[in-house]
Chain A
């Protein structure tokens, strides 16, 4: 089935390295979300795109985190100068439209480990 896909599934980075995480949403979905899930915790909102526009980045923990969706489909979450506290699973979700009646569908996540 054509669900949300993410790559890589696992990423190990040395502290200080830059990483890029990719999300392919369900085709035709307007809305795209990034969440961060630390070990033993629930996911926490990072940022939201409506098509190519980043409408909400209130959850990004620092200016080392940057996300883009230049053509309104694939999105990349970039983390610069990674720190150990960035170790987490990064989940991407998409929904067909905007608004509160639209269900979010999640990808399998990228597990980032910073050594």
Chain B
């Protein structure tokens, strides 16, 4: 069974710092890896999706990488802002009993201090 781990569970940084969030997964047979943002009381907002054949994706100040062989993905946030404060979840798409399912980590709660 696929297991996804995110470290650290919480992170606090001063505004303007660059930071890296880590995600590891046990089964390299993932089809893609997705990073989400979740604000308190809200649903999930997709940030970046990396297909299994890709190594990285970039969107604005965000860059996500994927290394299937080592079972790791990272989300790099450049020049952090207070508005980046949220919980960040990574999820691997795996094949299930009759569908493709996302298996999520527990998330990293990010606080960016002004």
Q: A40-B106, A58-B96, A103-B49 are in contact. Are A45 and B101 (CB under 8 A)?
A: yes
Query: Taking chain B's interface residues, is the majority helix, strand, or loop, or is none over half, making it mixed?
Result: strand
Q: Are B101 and A43 in contact (CB under 8 A)?
A: no
Q: Does A105 contact B (CB under 8 A)?
A: yes
Q: How many residue pairs bridge A and B at CB < 8 Å?
A: 76
Interface size class of A (residues with CB under 8 A): 20 to 34
Q: Does B34 contact A (CB under 8 A)?
A: yes
Interface size class of B (residues with CB under 8 A): 20 to 34
Q: Does A44 contact B (CB under 8 A)?
A: yes
Q: A42-B106, A100-B32 are in contact. Are A58 and B97 (CB under 8 A)?
A: yes
Chain A residue nearest to B32 in the complex (CB): A100
Stretch at the interface among A13-21, A62-70, A73-81, A106-114: A106-114
Interface residues of A (CB under 8 A from B): 4, 6, 31, 33, 35, 40-45, 48, 50, 55-56, 58-59, 91, 93, 98-101, 103-109, 111
Known contacts A42-B105, A45-B103, A99-B100, then 6 further A-B pairs from the complex at CB < 8 Å, ordered by chain A residue: A6-B43, A35-B102, A42-B104, A43-B104, A56-B97, A106-B36
Interface residues of B (CB under 8 A from A): 4, 31-32, 34, 36, 41-46, 49, 51-52, 89, 91, 93, 95-107
